[in-house]
Amino acid sequence: MTPAVRCEAAHPDDRTPCEGPPAVTVRDLLGSEVTGCVHHAARMYASLEGPRVYPLPGHDGAALTVYRCAQTIRPFCWLEEGAQ
């Protein structure tokens, strides 16, 4: 089953759907930026080296939520979840 359109932060191998609208921008060490929902942004944040996360306008608390979620997520956690 192909998931519906997802945010930019969703890894192609990560089959989970978005949770909520795009709420944050995640930037990596090289300055690449992607905009994503809290769920996928947290997973991406946990998988990057030296990431930064910024809230989108109207989502002031989202960056902190992503940061806190990412502390509990292993890098590339979707690799061991198997098919869903």
Choosing from 7, 63, 66, 70, the residue that interacts with Zn ion (CB under 5 A) is: 7
With a CB cutoff of 8 Å and minimum separation 6, the contacts of 71 are 46
CB 12 within 8 A of CB 40: no
Nearest to Zn ion of 10, 62 (CB atom): 10
Using the contact rule CB under 5 A, the part of the chain among 5-13, 23-31, 46-54, 55-63 near Zn ion is 5-13
Query: Is 59 an interacting residue with respect to Zn ion (CB under 5 A)?
Result: no
Residue 72: how many other CB atoms lie within 10 Å: 9
Using the contact rule CB under 5 A, the part of the chain among 23-31, 38-46, 52-60, 68-76 near Zn ion is 38-46
